[in-house]
Structure 1
């Protein structure tokens, strides 16, 4: 009977980062799959390996052994002996795997390699043949997912991030947030962490609140602010702290922080609760594709809508345009939206979808101004070249 293949130690299996640009997609996928099978095997993967049955995606696993039908090649009267041998093989394999998984040096090497790989990912993606650019980017996402898995498995405590933004008068605006580990099995949970675009917009809100409409409303009633795709709530909490410094307002401002993913909403509520010295912030679920503007708090228009890094699929910009059309106050309401400009993969060129969704030809809400901003050192993904900030409002007339 063919013996089961084992995952290989990271020090042997991971390609040298200094030669990363020469590594093929298959080499990197094999290396990443080896890490996942070694450190985070699912019951399904374990079961499939033990049964030794091939699957359509089997090429993704680092398995160099010959395919095995699962039948022993010996005579039928030797089947019992073969079963005993197989049992011993599995026991020995499990013991060897456990020793490898608990090797601190190998584990540290794997984590260091993943950090280095993601930091150099832009160079590697740029070396991809044109048809494989998206696949290369997906491999980088897999590496980020694995790194988050390592982080989550080593500590159950989420990371607390403290932000301090300069503001008029000299006293900084300070915000403390819980950045939860990404859910490695769910790519839609990106809102569990604070992204560079939201940090950059928060800095600008603090530096010049009046420019971004955080003054007195031109309508009757209190100022109403909505954040789309709030994630950790950095922008909403920053706005609440800015408004808390002003004179008491009657009625008080209304700030609504929205997202869609259940785990993101739970973390968002946690962050709002931990910053309890600010104006009350409402945390609500909002589906951009089907916004319900008939029930509170969405039954009244908003003076200011904020959105940071919310366009990561081609359909998102048009969804947001439809959503804003229903929720933005007329005639002076403004949407401030900032997106990352990415250099490759499936996120490249998404800024053009914003231009199409809010074009002059379509009427209604449209781009009034836009500005390209430089990347922040030490923040953001490797493929983020910069950011574009849009001021979007109602077309005149």
Structure 2
């Protein structure tokens, strides 16, 4: 187990900056990222392998390091020292930049190693972003996190780098611009057991047709991106066509979603991996009609939703959409299509959460006439450590975060 050091012990002295390499300076910045970047609250499932959330790879402290991490992170002197160190680093590099433009001064005169000068702008940008983080999350604006998910056996690994953006003028509808714990939980569950989510079909036989996957309220795109990258690693999908469609409603959220998808799955992916594609599209649940646009005109086999029920009408709107989007039993010869929903149980949104079970009945309580309907096929409770540096949607700090995972699909009494 690595030992976490406080910034006062780890950071190189500013006065001797010229004696350190670019790699050493970037390592120092990465270490500060691992200490002060706020991790997504409620994203660590208990008794499960946790993914990595940080600004630098392989620096996320595991559970055994949490107490030490929290002690350093909450130490006001260490944070103040980090702020002073970053401020001094930026000032020193900017002075060097200004002096370098003088024809009378050379890099040798300034004592600046050529490699450091060549990377000055990049170092300044990273340091400035960190300075905003250390000064306060709200001042940071954009926050970029690295997520690393691994399969239980360690044979598969998926990485995603996502950018969170500030709320759009405090518009509550733009909350999808942030990465929420429910998306982390669902992505981790999919990574651990793809077959459970209908993502491990054999490439031959009736299931060789294209697999259509949809995400509702995709937000920053974590689930869709992880699913797309995961399928690229599964041998059973080497030659099977897959279409992943990530949707959202709010303009700023949708723009950020597209940016994250493009950053993680470049447009060349759809050309080089011709059988797999991921696209982003607008979808308004409240105005969904029986005649959806072309990109939603085919039935979907797998639908995901993470933390998307926080208004009383959401569950009803979602069910209406699913009725027109989820592949019906008559269209599926082997596996039944399903909607996989993860929602947090927030005290402040207890009624909203309860609407899921009032809108989607349990399979055993289906229509006595045997009509096909979307029902809850299974339900599972999930407990996560709270963590995180800030309160999200009304939840207090220092408590466990409870989630419920619903598998929803078509069912009739005749088949039960």
TM-score (norm 2): 0.55
Q: 1-side partners of 2:136 and 2:247: how far apart?
A: 27
Deviating more after overlay: 159-168 vs 331-340: 159-168
Asked if 1:355 corresponds to 2:357, the answer is yes
TM-superposition CA deviations, 1:252-290 (whole Å, max 9, x none): 200000000000000000000001256431100011122
Is 2:177–2:220's contact at 8 Å kept on the other side of the alignment?
yes
TM-superposition CA deviations, 1:19-41 (whole Å, max 9, x none): xxxxxxxxxxxxxxxxxxxxxxx
Deviation at 1:318, TM superposition (A): 0.6
Give the 3-state SS of the residue equivalent to 1:350 in structure 2.
Answer: helix
Note the 1:31-46 alignment, pairs <5 A: none
Note the 1:10-89 alignment, pairs <5 A: none
Is 1:216–1:223's contact at 8 Å kept on the other side of the alignment?
no
Q: 2-side partners of 1:385 and 1:255: how far apart?
A: 29
Q: 2-side partners of 1:249 and 1:326: how far apart?
A: 29
Work out which of the residue numbers 236, 240, 243 in structure 1 matches 2:228: 240
Partner of 1:341: 345
Partner of 1:144: none
Work out which of the residue numbers 364, 377, 387 in structure 2 matches 1:378: 387
Partner of 1:326: 324
Is 2:386–2:401's contact at 8 Å kept on the other side of the alignment?
no
Give the 3-state SS of the residue equivalent to 2:345 in structure 1.
Answer: strand
Partner of 1:281: 278
Is 2:385–2:401's contact at 8 Å kept on the other side of the alignment?
no
Deviation at 1:250, TM superposition (A): 4.4
Give the 3-state SS of the residue equivalent to 1:165 in structure 2.
Answer: strand
Deviation at 1:154, TM superposition (A): 3.8
Give the RMSD, CA atoms, in angstroms: 2.8
- List runs of 5+ in structure 2 lacking aligned partners: 1-78, 81-131, 270-275, 330-335
Note the 1:128-277 alignment, pairs <5 A: 154-155=139-140, 158-170=142-154, 171-216=156-201, 219=207, 221-247=209-235, 248-250=237-239, 252-276=241-265
Structure with more contact order per residue of length (Cα contacts < 8 Å, sep ≥ 6) = 2
TM-superposition CA deviations, 1:59-114 (whole Å, max 9, x none): xxxxxxxxxxxxxxxxxxxxxxxxxxxxxxxxxxxxxxxxxxxxxxxxx99xxxxx
Q: Residue 168 and residue 153 in structure 1: after superposition, are their counterparts in 2 closer, same or farther (change >3 A)? A: closer
Q: Residue 172 and residue 211 in structure 1: after superposition, are their counterparts in 2 closer, same or farther (change >3 A)? A: same
- List runs of 5+ in structure 1 lacking aligned partners: 1-107, 110-146
Asked if 1:305 corresponds to 2:290, the answer is no
Deviation at 1:219, TM superposition (A): 4.8
Q: 2-side partners of 1:153 and 1:320: how far apart?
A: 32
TM-score (norm 1): 0.58
Q: Residue 373 and residue 152 in structure 1: after superposition, are their counterparts in 2 closer, same or farther (change >3 A)? A: closer
Q: 1-side partners of 2:138 and 2:158: how far apart?
A: 33
Deviation at 1:173, TM superposition (A): 1.6
Deviation at 1:245, TM superposition (A): 0.6
Deviation at 1:151, TM superposition (A): 5.9
Partner of 2:405: 389
TM-superposition CA deviations, 1:345-381 (whole Å, max 9, x none): 3x12322200111114465100000011103331573
Is 1:224–1:301's contact at 8 Å kept on the other side of the alignment?
yes
Q: 2-side partners of 1:153 and 1:193: how far apart?
A: 12
Q: 2-side partners of 1:167 and 1:220: how far apart?
A: 24
Is 1:303–1:329's contact at 8 Å kept on the other side of the alignment?
yes
Partner of 2:376: 367
Is 2:160–2:222's contact at 8 Å kept on the other side of the alignment?
yes
TM-superposition CA deviations, 1:166-216 (whole Å, max 9, x none): 215514221110111222431110000110011011110000111111122
Give the 3-state SS of the residue equivalent to 2:378 in structure 1.
Answer: strand
